[in-house]
Structure 1
Amino acid sequence: MEIYLVGGAIRDELLDLPVKDKDWVVVGGSPKQMLQLGYKKVGRHFPVFLHPISREEYALARTEKKSGKGYIGFVCYSKPDVTLKEDLARRDLTINAIAKDKYGVYYDPYGGRIDLQKRKLRHISSAFCEDPLRVLRIARFSAYFANLQFRIAQKTWNLMKKVVDSGELSSLSRERIWREMDLALKTHHPQVFLQVLKDCGALNKLFPELNLVYCSFFFKKTQGPLITTNKKNIFLTLSTVAKHCLEVDVRFAALCYDLKKSIITQDNISNNGKADKIGTRIISIFCNSLQIPKKYRDLALLVSEFYGVLHTIHLSSPEELITLFNRIDAWRKPYRVEKIAYIIDADSSKCKTCSENFSSKGEYFYHTWKIVQSVSTQEIISAGFIGQKVREELCRRRISALTIRQNSQ
């Protein structure tokens, strides 16, 4: 029985990137042997075991044969006679099909290390087409490696389009699609994920709402699509927020803010509030169709619903600001204010931290919040106000504080 470190850990190690998770493949082993060594079986569709101490995943070497539609339509074979090369052949990209033994010797039968040096995302075989999920994975890797200038190999690009044309993307579950988007949103350049899906034709199949408002980026025909961050796209708020904020709910809300902004500015919709309602409805449908986590959905719908107010926040009266804080439930959920401030700043091409002197809409929004938050409820109670009068006096003092601040500017 031989054990090899495989996949992303090897790839990232060779690129001098942080290694997050380690996956291992066991060649020549059996489930009985793994259990006798103290490993715990966790795989449902194929033999995967957890190490008794490190809890890292150890999978028996296996082959996969297409047996139906979708990314789960495979029959797995995992007997001791499966070789390391056969196991590596079932993986999506050459750069993910590199193994290393306990002596530090690399096994790279498909040229993954060369592709790492050439900054190329290349499939291993035509079996790439058998799994539609790989289209999203390539788009996600494109976002992950955008700053390293990786390119999708032209033949791989052609296979991605073939998968899209086959209609197999429809077999992907919404949960699996969201998982890939969630991972893409955690990269430094999440907008590249959308760029790649757009150009291979998958965006319209997977996210029709986003496809309606997307501007294609250009690519060099001779070299395949260039994975970079300076391509023309409409997701400017998302790409700007991603430079300064790691929180996925803020990034997703920024994506929806871009979507709302695009709908609002369409020439065929008059500026009478109709576009505002349509935009929020589309974003709600978008979130529900993907079964977005409630935390993400709530923030996205807030920035959509109050898009008009946030866009002109610096022109709002003290009364309008208090109403806004009430409607976003800022008193109970103050963290929402800073999250929304990031998005407003990014929309104005200025994304500064809120701790600095405010010089943008987002900082103004956050600063007004700190002013009203500083009004003491305890002082009002100590002054003899009771019951409903406390709330009324609190509102009056908050408006007064904002009025004094605005008049002093």
Structure 2
Amino acid sequence: MKIYLVGGAIRNKFLGLPIKDKDWVVVGSNPRFFIKKKYKQVGKKFPVFLHPRTHEEYALARKEIKSGLGYKGFKVNYSPNVTLEEDLMRRDITINAIAKDKYGNYFDPYDGLKDIKNCILRHVSNSFSEDPLRIFRVARFAALLFHLGFKICKETLFLMSSSFLKNEIKYLEKERIWEETKKAFKTKHPNIYFKVLFKCNVIIYAFPEIYYLFNLNEKLYYFNKQYFLNQNIFLGLAYISKYTNKIDMRISFFLQLFSLNFVNCVSNKKKKLFLKFFFNFVKKFFFRINVPNKIKNLSIVFVKNINFLIDIHYKSSEEIIFLFKRINAWRNSEIVYKLSFLTDCYINFLNIFYKKHFYKNVFVGNYLKNVFKVAQSISFKNVSKKINKGIQIQKEINKLRKSAIDKWKCSIFNKKI
């Protein structure tokens, strides 16, 4: 029996990146050995075991033969006769197909070290095209390693664009697609992930809602669509990623970018209809790939209220109080601060790239935060003890909040004068 360190730990060591997890491959053994040593088995299709003390993963060397559709359509052979080279051959890209033994010797049958040196993402073998999930993995690695100069080689891009792989995407579990997308949104350049997927023409299969929104307005056919993508979508996602690494913030900003040209191209009568239509599409997108509520909720609130937030200076105190109720700000004050940040970023992005699209002398975000603090300062303590019915108490609180906001607005106006 021989044990080798494989995958990300070796790759990250040569790239100077943090090593978070260590994965091991075991050649010449069987499940009984690990069960006897009290390793915890995970996964039913092929044996992977967790070390009882370090909790690191130990997987038996295995070969995979395509036998069906999608990610699960494989027959797995993990007999003791499977060699290290055969195990490494089933991996996605060469930089992940390097192993090291306990003596420090490296085994690199597919030139992964050479590709690390040359900053190339290359498939290990033609079996790459048997697993549709690898499209998303390579796109995610392109985003992860973009700042180091890594690019996908032409041959791998060709395989990623194959009609066979695109057809198999529909058999992928939606959780698998979301998992790779989530990891991509955590990278420094999540825009590269989507740029690769657009380049391979897999967006229509992976994210049909995004594809539909991109092609929704016929007037865009008269412009350069690639320019629209690069300037509005990819550049906007790169912009927000400089200022926050939180997934919910990045996704919220990314989805809102798709409405930019569409709203400007429809008549005023149809704008409300379009915004409702756009909002429903965003909800469908989250539902289909099963995005967690914690991430989904912010995007839905931001997309639904962006126009109100942009013009919040001109809204009445009653409208602002109703906004706070609508977004559940009284119970979740954090959402106010996230919306203020996103709205400022959105306006600043449009001002930078659209030549002063908005003429705001006061930051919307600060205004939103300050007016919320004023409204939040009013509580049940300010209500007369004579009022004891729930509806009356709420009406009185809203009345006091309106009065406090009105006074605050007057003080702001007087300072400007």
TM-score with structure 2 setting the length: 0.87
Q: What's 1:103 paired with?
A: 103
Query: C-alpha offsets along residues 54-104 of structure 1, whole Å, 9 cap, x if unaligned?
Result: 111100111111111212111111111211111111100001011112222
Answer with 302-311 or 118-127: which moved more: 302-311
1:375 to 370, 373, 378: 378
Structure 1 residue 190 corresponds to structure 2 residue 190: yes
Pairwise mapping of residues 257-272 of structure 1 onto structure 2 (< 5 A)?
257-267=256-266, 271-272=270-271
CA–CA distance in structure 1, aligned partners of residues 212 and 265 of structure 2: 11
Distance 1:311 1:12, change over 3 A: same
The 1:101/1:337 distance shift into structure 2, 3 A limit, reads same
Question: What residue number does 1:304 align with?
Answer: 303
Contact 1:164 1:200 in 2 (8 A): no
Corresponding residue for residue 57 of structure 1: 57
Cα-to-partner distance string for 1:82-134 (whole Å, 9 max, x where unaligned) = 11111111100001011112222221111111111211111111111011110
8 A Cα contact 1:189 1:239, kept in partner: yes
1:327 corresponds to: 326
**Which amino acid counterpart does residue 246 of structure 2 have in structure 1?**
E
Distance between the aligned counterparts of 1:317 and 1:236, measured in 2? 34
Q: How does 1:3-402 map to 2 (within 5 A)?
A: 3-163=3-163, 167-214=167-214, 232-267=231-266, 271-349=270-348, 359-381=362-384, 384-387=386-389, 388-402=391-405
Read off the aligned partner of 1:240 and give its amino acid letter. Y
- Counterpart for residue 223 of structure 1: none
Larger % of helix: which?
2
Judged with a 3 Å threshold, the aligned counterparts in structure 2 of structure 1 residues 253 and 164 are, in CA distance, closer, same or farther, namely farther
Segments of 5+ residues of structure 2 without an aligned counterpart are 215-223, 351-360, 413-417
Comparing 65-74 with 298-307, greater Cα deviation is found at: 298-307
Asked whether the equivalents of residues 132 and 165 of structure 2 are also in contact (C-alpha less than 8 Å), the reply is no
Superposition deviation, residue 250 in structure 1 = 2.4
Tell me the secondary structure at the aligned position of residue 179 of structure 1. helix
Letter in structure 2 aligned against 1:81: N
Larger displacement relative to structure 2 (62-71 or 269-278): 269-278
Separation in structure 2 between the aligned mates of residue 278 and residue 306 of structure 1, nearest angstrom: 14
Q: Secondary structure at the match of 2:170?
A: helix
Q: Aligned partners of 2:371 and 2:105: how far apart in 1?
A: 60
Aligned length: 391
Deviation of 1:362 after TM superposition, in Å, equals 2.1
1:272 Cα shift? 3.9
Task: Give 3-state SS (helix, strand or coil) of 2:242's partner.
Answer: helix
Q: 1:233 to 1:123 in 2, by over 3 A?
A: farther
* Alignment partners' CA distance in 2, 1:269 and 1:289: 31
- Cα offsets for 1:173-228 (capped at 9, x unmatched): 2221112111111212212111110111011111122124458658xxxxxxxxxx
Give the 3 Å change call, closer, same or farther, for CA 29–281 of structure 1 in structure 2: same
- Tell me, yes or no, if the aligned pair for 1:241 and 1:342 is still in contact at 8 Å: no
Gap runs ≥5 in structure 1: 219-229, 352-357
The one-letter amino acid of 1:121's match is: L
**Percent identical:** 40
Q: Tell me how far apart the structure 1 counterparts of residues 142 and 374 of structure 2 sit (CA, whole Å).
A: 43
Instruction: Give the secondary structure class of the aligned counterpart of 1:348.
Output: helix
Alpha-carbon offset, residue 389 of structure 1: 3.8
Measure, in 2, the Cα distance between the counterparts of 1:252 and 1:163.
Answer: 28
Q: Is the 8 A contact 1:199 1:216 kept in 2?
A: no
| Higher mean displacement: 140-149 or 372-381 | 372-381
Correspondence for 1:227: none
Kindly tell me: are residues 268 and 71 of structure 1, through their superposed partners in 2, closer, same or farther at Cα, counting changes over 3 Å?
A: farther
SS in 2 for 1:5: strand
User: Which amino acid in structure 2 is aligned with residue 363 of structure 1?
Assistant: N
**1:347-406, CA deviations, whole angstroms, 9 ceiling, x for partnerless residues?**
11269xxxxxx9522232122212211224313346x54334432232122222222222
Q: Structure 1 143/47 Cα, relative in aligned 2: closer, same or farther at 3 Å?
A: same
RMSD over aligned CA atoms reads: 2.4
Q: Secondary structure at the match of 2:161?
A: helix
* Matches of 1:400 and 1:269, distance apart in 2: 33
**Matched residue SS, 1:265:** helix
- Give the AA of the match of 1:174: K
Aligned CA distance change for structure 1 residues 95 and 317 (closer, same or farther; 3 Å): same
In the alignment, the residues of structure 2 paired with residue 237 and residue 163 of structure 1 have an alpha-carbon distance, to the nearest angstrom, of 30
Which moved further from structure 2: 303-312 or 118-127?
303-312
Name the residue aligned to 1:226. none
Q: Structure 2: which amino acid aligns with 1:368?
A: V
After superposition, the C-alpha distances for 1:130-152 in whole angstroms (9 at most, x for unaligned) are 11110111111111112212100
2:232–2:260 contact (8 Å) kept in structure 1: no
Contact 1:11/1:95 (8 A) holds in 2: yes
